[in-house]
């Protein structure tokens, strides 16, 4: 004798309840902090939340905005966050300046194969090439990645006599527009759009990207706490695999994914953030170097050179050990990492 439809549904619900409860309980919480506010590039991380990829991998991921790579590294080191997105140079600096710290985060995936750092100036200043920066007044927040790495840029391009002015991040581009300083350092896809927002035409801005002028530093990486790596390596691996799936979809069709960012920060300028995301993908995620090396990975020789350069430029307490800051043990397979969109002709 068959059960009435309502009774069958009730029975199926009862049978499914223990399984659902087990599934909910099996979700591993992962607290993740970005390097900066919810801007265009954050879509790379938010996509896997919206599409349910983290959840399907057994992870309960929460993604929070950050206020600079240094802060993200510190918070992952303290255990406040399990994982994060931060500049490789900031991670190296933390390692070298805190040799006795018990919980030094480790980089587990390369996302920005090239540093987004650049020097930006206005054409009317007469600055068109790195040599024109000799004796000039530059400005940036003290923690800015481009400012901290500027000695590497200066050495590669024979620059000397630069004077620095410090300011809070919102004032950087404003002070350049006002003429208080001759040039600034910043992420190319951030400062360029910030200058445009202050009324400067694109054609009136000079951008000198570090990678185009002899500085092949790696940029932002996904980092994980030693505690998470030791206690739940499967969760680290699951996060990277899930992130990779979402990032592939974002790079294939970036514009619609800005809605994921807007859902986290309702006051963003959607069109501007679409441009910022596309610029970030082209300049540092799917860059020529990334295509040559492969997404997600790091080349040991290049990493070792960067460690030496950062040790010198940042004046760290101890020398940086490249083997201590990076591991590829949790990366998805080479086939899964084949996510970069076709090169533009």
Half-sphere exposure of 203 (CA within 13 A, CB side): 0
Q: pTM for this one?
A: 0.90
Could you write out the DSSP letters of every residue in 209-239?
EGGGGT-----EEEEE-HHHHHH-HHHHHHH
State the alpha helices, DSSP H only, in 128-171: 145-148, 150-157
Are 133 and 119 spatial neighbours (Cβ–Cβ below 8 Å)? yes
When computed from its CA atoms, the radius of gyration of the chain, rounded to whole angstroms, is: 22
Q: 242-279: b or e for each residue (b if 16 or more CB lie within 10 Å)? A: bbbbbbbbbbeebbebbebbbebeeebeeebbbbbbbb
Pick the closest to residue 228 from 50, 42, 48, 59 (CA basis). 59
Domain boundaries, the chain: 28-113+218-325, 117-213
pLDDT at 143: 87
133 CB-near residues (< 8 Å, 6+ apart): 119, 127, 154, 157, 159, 162, 182, 183
pLDDT at 15: 43
Do 28-113+218-325 and 117-213 agree at the fold level? yes
Q: Kindly state which CATH superfamily the domain 117-213 is placed in.
A: Periplasmic binding protein-like II (3.40.190.10)
Q: Give helix then strand counts, H and E, for the chain.
A: 16, 10
d(CA 105, CA 73): 7
Task: Output phi, psi for 311, to 5 deg.
Answer: -55, -45
Q: Which residue has the tokens 């802060």?
A: 71
CB atoms under 10 Å from CB of 36, counted, come to 20
Q: Give the pLDDT of the chain (345 residues) as one tens digit per residue.
A: 444 454 444 434 444 444 444 444 479 999 999 999 999 999 999 999 999 999 999 999 999 999 989 999 999 999 999 999 999 999 999 999 999 999 999 999 999 999 999 999 999 999 999 999 999 999 999 989 899 999 999 999 999 999 999 999 999 999 999 999 999 999 999 999 999 999 999 999 999 999 999 999 999 999 999 999 999 999 999 999 999 999 999 999 999 999 999 999 999 999 999 999 999 999 999 999 999 999 999 999 999 999 999 999 999 999 999 999 999 999 999 999 999 998 887
Q: Is 253 helix (H, G, I), strand (E, B) or coil?
A: coil
User: Is 28-113+218-325 a CATH 3.10.20.30 domain?
Assistant: no
């Amino acid at each position: 004798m068959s059960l009435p439809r309502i009774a069958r549904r009730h029975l199926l619900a009862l049978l499914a309840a223990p399984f659902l409860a087990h599934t909910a309980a099996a979700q591993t919480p992962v607290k993740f902090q970005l390097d900066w506010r919810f801007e265009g590039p954050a879509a790379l991380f938010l996509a896997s939340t919206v599409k349910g990829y983290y959840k399907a991998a057994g992870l309960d991921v929460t993604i929070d905005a950050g206020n600079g790579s240094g802060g993200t590294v510190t918070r992952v080191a303290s255990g406040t966050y399990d994982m994060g997105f931060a500049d490789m140079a900031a991670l190296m600096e933390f390692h070298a300046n805190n040799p006795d710290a018990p919980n030094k985060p480790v980089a587990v995936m390369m996302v920005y194969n090239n540093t987004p750092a650049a020097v930006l100036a206005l054409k009317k200043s007469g600055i068109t090439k790195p040599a024109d920066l000799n004796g000039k007044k530059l400005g940036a927040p003290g923690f800015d990645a481009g400012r901290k790495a500027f000695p590497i840029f200066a050495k590669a391009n024979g620059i000397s006599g630069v004077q620095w002015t410090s300011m809070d991040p919102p004032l950087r581009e404003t002070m350049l527009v006002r003429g208080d300083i001759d040039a600034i350092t910043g992420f190319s896809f951030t400062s360029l759009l910030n200058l445009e927002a202050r009324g400067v035409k694109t054609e009136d801005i000079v951008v000198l990207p570090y990678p185009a002028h002899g500085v092949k530093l790696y940029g932002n990486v996904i980092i994980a706490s030693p505690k998470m790596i030791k206690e739940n390596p499967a969760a680290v691996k699951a996060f990277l695999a899930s992130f990779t799936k979402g990032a592939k979809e974002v790079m294939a069709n970036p514009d619609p994914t800005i809605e994921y960012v807007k859902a986290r920060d309702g006051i963003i300028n959607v069109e501007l953030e679409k441009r910022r995301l596309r610029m970030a993908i082209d300049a540092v995620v799917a860059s020529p170097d990334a295509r040559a090396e492969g997404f997600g990975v790091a080349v040991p020789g290049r990493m070792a050179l960067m460690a030496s350069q950062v040790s010198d430029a940042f004046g760290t307490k101890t020398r940086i050990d490249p083997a201590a800051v990076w591991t590829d043990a949790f990366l998805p397979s080479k086939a899964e990492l084949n996510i970069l969109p076709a090169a533009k002709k």
